[in-house]
Amino acid sequence: MRNDKKIKRILKTQLNFYLTVLFMSVALFLLPLSASAQLETDKIEAEGELVADFPIVPIYPDAVIERSYKKIEAGKVGYEAVQIAEASVFDVYSYFIEELKREGWTITMSSDNSPTALEQGLTAVKDKMTVQMEIEDEDGHTEIIIEIPLH
């Protein structure tokens, strides 16, 4: 009988050891997964309007705001808005170039502003903030994408 108790105690100790090793292995495997999950992007979306705190940038007059979002990633914040305008790509692009300059933005990249182009783009900087705009023809309407990259 004494040997039976000793064998049971040894088996119980071994079982506890193997369960501990198994638990630690699973925990070490899942730890990087949970850490990366904490770094996921938080995203706040709005339909038909600008999200709260959207930075002050020119908005094309009479354009319809389709959607916008604010994203927070690793302590940085970025924004995007999509608008639809009933004007030509040329007119919308020209408006933004003039309006951004008027509001003190520095244009750092811009397309050639051809009156026949179906797509235009620009980048501007003001007070350490960058705004990127894509303006393109979408089935007879002009789509305006305004993005403030993570900063």
Q: What is the mean pLDDT of each run of 10 residues along the chain (151 residues)?
A: 62 52 58 52 94 96 97 95 97 97 97 90 96 96 97 90
Compute the Cα dihedral for 106, 108, 114, 117 and give only its sign.
negative
Predicted local confidence at residue 12, as pLDDT: 57
pTM for the predicted model, two decimal places? 0.72
Predicted local confidence at residue 114, as pLDDT: 86
Q: Count Cβ atoms within 10 A of the Cβ of residue 96 and give its class: 0-12 exposed, 13-18 middle, 19 or more buried.
A: buried
Predicted local confidence at residue 22, as pLDDT: 52
Predicted local confidence at residue 41, as pLDDT: 72
Q: What is the CATH number of domain 42-148?
A: 3.30.310
Q: Alpha helix locations (H) across the chain?
A: 2-38, 89-102
- Count other C-beta atoms under 10 Å from residue 81's C-beta: 24
Predicted local confidence at residue 80, as pLDDT: 98
Strand 141-148 relative to strand 129-138, pairing: antiparallel
Predicted local confidence at residue 74, as pLDDT: 92
- Count other C-beta atoms under 10 Å from residue 8's C-beta: 10
